[in-house]
Structure 1
Amino acid sequence: MTMPTPEFLHKLADAADRETLARFRKPLDTSSKPKDGYRFDPVTEADREAERVMRELISAEFPDHSVLGEEYGLSGTGTFQWVLDPIDGTRPFLLGIPVWATLIGFTQEGRAASGMMSQPVTRERFWADQTGSWLETSAGKTPLRSSAKTEMAEAILHTNSPEGVKRNKDVNFDGLDAAVKMTRYGGECYAFAMLAAGQIDLCLEYNLQPYDIVPLIPVIQAAGGVVTTLDGGRAEDGGRVLASANMELHRAALKILLGQA
C-alpha cells in the first residue's frame, strides 16, 4: 500500500493531538527560529514532540516514503512524501487561542493528494482524499463546500497579519481590501478551513512554506476552491499564495492584486 487511508491520517492526528493538547495553555519553554521580517518565530517542545510521534508512525507504516516537516526538515527520497506542520500557528498556541492546528499532507510526485487539519480543542478535523472534502467531529462527517460567491463586493478576505502586507508593496492588497465586503486578520490555518467550509471567500498569504499549505490544498480543492501562487503557479511550492472559493473569484482577485484591474 502506497496511498494512505483516512484511518491512517486520523491515527497520525490522534498521536499529534495527545502531544499538543497535553501542553496547551500550560507553561512552556519557548525558543525562536530566524525568519525574515519577524522578530519572534516561536518553537516549543509541543511542536517537536508532535512531529516526532507522527514521523515514527509514518516510518513504521511507510518506510519508503519521505517526510518533510517544519521541525526536523527532510528525510528520505521518492515519489511519495509526507508534509507535516505539527503546530501551524504556534503564536496563538502560546496565547491560548485555538486557531492553531496540526497539518498533515501527502503528495505524489510533488502534487498534494490528501491532507488533514486537526484542531483538537474544538475537536474538528478537516480532511480530504479522492472521495471529497470533509469536516469530521464527534457528531459525524459532513461534506465541505466552498462559497459560490462571484461578486467581489460580497466577498470576505482574510490574511493572517499586516506584516506581510507591509513587506509586499508590489502586491495591491489595498485595492483588494477596498473591493471586498470585509477583511479580517489572525485566523492562521483555520481561515483556510473556513474557506473550504464556505465561510470565507479569499485567503491571501505572502510567505508560506510547503508544510503551511500542502495539507490544506486538497481540503480546499475538493470543496470546490482554487489555490495557486500569485503568479498562477503551483501552491505546493509555497511562497505568495491565494486561495479562493471558486475560479471566477480567484481570477478577479488575482487581477486586482497584480494591478491588472
Structure 2
Amino acid sequence: MQDFVEAAEAAAEAAGQVIRPLFRSALLVEAKGDASPVTEADRKAELAMRDLLRRRFPDHGIWGEEFGPERQEAEYLWVLDPIDGTRAFVTGRPLFGTLIGLLHRGRPVLGVIDQPGIGERWIGLAGERTRFRSPLGGAPGCRPCARLAEAELSCTSPDMFEPKDRPGFERLRAAARRVTWGGDCYGYGLLALGLVDVVAECTMKPWDWAALVPVLEGAGGRVTGWEGETLTLESDGRVLAVGDPALLAEAVDLLRN
C-alpha cells in the first residue's frame, strides 16, 4: 500500500501546483449543469492527477468529478475531487480541499484530504492510524462525545437538503449543542482532529465521500449513510459522520425517524 500512499501524495502535490497560483486570482467562473461554480483550477488540477495516476497504475480505474469515470470496473478505482468546496475557493476562503480516494473492489482503503492553501494534509489508510501534517499544528484523533446534547454539529450549507431530508436534519440539529455552517471537506478534517463531533449532509457524490472514510475511521470515527449503512457507489448521497461511534445510533434514529 505504500506505493499507493506515495502516489496519492504526489497527486495532491500535482493538484496543489495548479491550484495555489489561481487561488484568490481573477478567474472565469462557469456554471455546471447543477449551477455550482467550476473554474480553470478544477479542470487542470484533475487532469494533472489523472495523468500521474494513469502513468503509475495503468490498470487502475479513475473517476473524477470533472471528467467522469475511466475503467470504473477495475479492481482499484481512484476517486478524485480536485476542489471540494469550489464556492469557498472562488470567494477566497481557505475552506476547500483536494480529495483523493482509492477504492478496492468498491471499499475505500485510502483517503487524502489536502488543503493546498495553508499546507494541511490528512492521510487515511485502512487499518492504520490517520496521519496529519500542518504548519498550524494539531494531532489526529476524534474526541469522546457520547451524547448529541454535548456535540458540535457541522454542515456545509442548509441549502443542500431536499424537502424529504430536511425534517431529519432539523431533528438532529435541535438535539445537538450547536451547529456551524460551511467547510465542505474541511469540516470532516476538523472532525478527524476532534474539533467537531458530527457531520450530516446530503447530495454527496462518491468523489465527495470516498476519501473521507479512511481518514475518519483511522481517527476513530465512523462514516455511514443516514440509515447507518455502509456507503457504496450506489448510495443515495446522504452521509453521516460521527467522531465517537457511541453517537451513531442516536444520530441515525433522529435522521430517519
Aligned counterpart in structure 1 of residue 70 of structure 2, from 54, 72, 75: 75
The answer on 1:217 being equivalent to 2:217 is no
Aligned counterpart in structure 2 of residue 58 of structure 1, from 53, 59, 67: 53
Residue by residue over 1:215-258, the C-alpha shift from the partner in whole angstroms, topping out at 9 and shown as x without a partner, is: 11100011110111112222243511100112210111111111
- CA RMSD, Structure 1 to Structure 2 (Å): 1.7
Provide the rounded CA distance (Å) in 2 between the counterparts of 1:170 and 1:162: 9
Contact 2:7 2:53 in 1 (8 A): no
Tell me how far 1:44 sits from its aligned partner: 0.8
Provide the rounded CA distance (Å) in 2 between the counterparts of 1:75 and 1:213: 19
Contact 2:169 2:200 in 1 (8 A): no
Match of 1:149, SS state, is coil
Provide the rounded CA distance (Å) in 2 between the counterparts of 1:11 and 1:47: 17
The answer on 1:183 being equivalent to 2:182 is no
User: Do the aligned partners of residues 137 and 170 (structure 1) sit closer, same or farther apart at CA in structure 2, a change above 3 Å counting?
Assistant: closer
Provide the rounded CA distance (Å) in 1 between the counterparts of 2:49 and 2:2: 16
User: Do the aligned partners of residues 143 and 5 (structure 1) sit closer, same or farther apart at CA in structure 2, a change above 3 Å counting?
Assistant: farther
Residue by residue over 1:163-199, the C-alpha shift from the partner in whole angstroms, topping out at 9 and shown as x without a partner, is: 1345334642222111111011111110001111111
- How much identity, in percent, do the aligned residues show? 36
State the partner residue of 1:131: 128
The answer on 1:208 being equivalent to 2:212 is no
* Greater fraction strand: 1
User: Do the aligned partners of residues 226 and 109 (structure 1) sit closer, same or farther apart at CA in structure 2, a change above 3 Å counting?
Assistant: same
Provide the rounded CA distance (Å) in 2 between the counterparts of 1:170 and 1:195: 22
| Structure 1 segment 91-106 matched on structure 2, within 5 A | 91-106=87-102
The amino acid that maps onto 1:133 is T
User: Do the aligned partners of residues 22 and 217 (structure 1) sit closer, same or farther apart at CA in structure 2, a change above 3 Å counting?
Assistant: same
Residue by residue over 1:115-143, the C-alpha shift from the partner in whole angstroms, topping out at 9 and shown as x without a partner, is: 10110111100111143201113588x75
State the partner residue of 1:41: 36
Q: How many residues align?
A: 253
Tell me how far 1:97 sits from its aligned partner: 0.2
Contact 2:228 2:248 in 1 (8 A): no
State the partner residue of 1:249: 247
User: Do the aligned partners of residues 69 and 3 (structure 1) sit closer, same or farther apart at CA in structure 2, a change above 3 Å counting?
Assistant: farther
Q: Could you tell me which runs of 5 or more consecutive residues in structure 2 were left unpaired when the two chains were aligned.
A: none
| Structure 1 segment 7-22 matched on structure 2, within 5 A | 7-22=6-21
Aligned counterpart in structure 2 of residue 144 of structure 1, from 129, 140, 147: 140
Contact 2:113 2:123 in 1 (8 A): yes
Normalising by structure 2, report the TM-score. Answer: 0.93
State the partner residue of 2:159: 163
Provide the rounded CA distance (Å) in 2 between the counterparts of 1:232 and 1:154: 21
Aligned counterpart in structure 1 of residue 83 of structure 2, from 72, 84, 87: 87
State the partner residue of 1:113: 109
